[in-house]
């Protein structure tokens, strides 16, 4: 069921139900952030391992303040990027009301203040944060439209159209040294600019964030990266002018614009996965700006 009434959506949340929500990054599976039973339902629906903690979405940084211990760097980043696609990991406060199951019993929680206008209205109508992972079955391609969510979950979905960024938020640990845990919609360059110094970044796509332990974002078909030529039966995720025109081609960005490609990446993976091509080839994507996050998702889809 697609819904467009904020009060109905808030009612579902208050009653401990799970609904699909739009965000500026990808769609989420949202439940009441202070209700343990609602959070348990999210894990069950997604078939998500309990060791993979969730992100808590707040109406404002002030609202998050009773649940976390702020650091100077976290405040700097929150001021620069919220509302928006940056998730900050901080220590839980002594007064934290988020049940341990949401954060896989870690001493930290991941928080963000999203910018999607419909979600902002919903958060204003709820008296709690929303716990929300991306609205895909664990391991599968993330959803960037309400239709993608409906493909897998029989739940009410608040239809907020096509997600602007199309890639998940950047996850940053701000407890001591600032550490990038997951590249995402906010580029490392932008974060470094705000911090005024370089931050520690894990290299070689080694998993640090608990949720990065498993492969993710994967279509049901085989996928290969950095393809300059394609084989018979392969579908193509193109970035710029392709060397040939296979029957199943999804153009990420003809003008080789990385933001446009990021916004269209998961939609392209969904489209080719549903098409009759046998496997998927992806043209090379430069490893700069948001290209880092695009290649991260592609790499995880094949590993």
Which CB, 30 or 230, lies closer to Mg ion?
A: 30
Scored b (16 or more CB within 10 A) or e, 105-144 reads eeebbbbbbbbbebbbebbebbebbbbbbbbbebbbbbbb
- Listed ranges 36-44, 82-90, 218-226, 289-297: which one lies at the site for ligand TXA (CB under 6 A): 82-90
Which CB, 151 or 256, lies closer to Mg ion?
A: 151
Q: Which does 35 bind (CB under 5 to 8 A by kind): Mg ion, ligand TXA, none?
A: none
Residue 166 sits in the site that holds ligand TXA (CB under 6 A): no
Which CB, 26 or 77, lies closer to ligand TXA?
A: 26
Minimum gap (Å) between residue 210 Cβ and ligand TXA: 4
Q: Which residue lies nearest Mg ion, judged by its C-beta?
A: 134
Q: Contact, 22 vs 146, CB < 8 A?
A: yes
Q: Residues 98 to 117: which contact ligand TXA by CB under 6 A?
A: 103, 106, 108-110
Q: Contact, 207 vs 252, CB < 8 A?
A: no
Which CB, 160 or 235, lies closer to ligand TXA?
A: 160
- Listed ranges 22-30, 36-44, 64-72, 289-297: which one lies at the site for ligand TXA (CB under 6 A): 22-30
Q: Which does 110 bind (CB under 5 to 8 A by kind): ligand TXA, Mg ion, none?
A: ligand TXA
Applying CB under 5 A, which of residues 25, 35, 103, 134 lies at the interface with Mg ion? 134
Residue 290 sits in the site that holds ligand TXA (CB under 6 A): no
Residue 209 sits in the site that holds ligand TXA (CB under 6 A): yes
**Radius of gyration over alpha carbons of the chain, in Å?**
19
Where along the sequence are the contacts to ligand TXA (CB under 6 A)? 23, 25-26, 28, 52-55, 85, 87, 89, 103, 106, 108-110, 132-134, 168-169, 171, 181-182, 209-212
Where along the sequence are the contacts to Mg ion (CB under 5 A)? 134
């Amino acid at each position: 069921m697609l819904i467009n009434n904020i009060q109905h959506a808030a009612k579902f949340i208050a009653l401990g139900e799970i609904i699909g929500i739009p965000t500026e990054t990808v769609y989420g599976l949202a439940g009441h952030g202070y209700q343990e039973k609602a959070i348990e339902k999210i894990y069950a629906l997604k078939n998500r391992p309990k060791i993979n903690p969730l992100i808590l979405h707040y109406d404002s940084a002030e609202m998050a303040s009773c649940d976390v211990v702020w650091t100077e760097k976290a405040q700097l980043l929150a001021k620069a990027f919220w509302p928006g696609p940056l998730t900050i990991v901080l220590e839980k406060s002594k007064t934290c009301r988020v049940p341990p199951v949401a954060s896989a019993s870690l001493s930290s929680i991941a928080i963000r203040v999203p910018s999607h206008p419909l979600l902002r209205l919903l958060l204003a109508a709820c008296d709690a944060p929303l716990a929300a992972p991306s609205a895909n079955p664990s391991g599968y391609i993330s959803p960037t439209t309400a239709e993608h969510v409906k493909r897998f979950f029989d739940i009410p979905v608040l239809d907020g159209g096509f997600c602007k960024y199309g890639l998940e938020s950047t996850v940053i640990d701000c407890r001591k040294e600032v550490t990038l845990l997951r590249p995402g919609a906010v580029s490392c360059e932008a974060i470094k600019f705000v911090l005024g110094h370089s931050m520690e970044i894990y290299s070689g796509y080694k998993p640090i964030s608990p949720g990065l332990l498993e492969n993710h974002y994967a279509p049901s078909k085989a996928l290969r990266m950095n393809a300059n030529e394609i084989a018979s039966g392969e579908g193509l995720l193109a970035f710029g002018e392709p060397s040939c025109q296979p029957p199943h081609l999804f153009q990420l960005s003809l003008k080789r614009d990385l933001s446009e490609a990021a916004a269209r990446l998961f939609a392209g993976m969904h489209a080719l996965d549903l098409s009759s091509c046998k496997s998927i080839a992806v043209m090379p994507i430069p490893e700069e700006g948001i290209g880092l996050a695009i290649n991260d998702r592609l790499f995880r889809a094949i590993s």
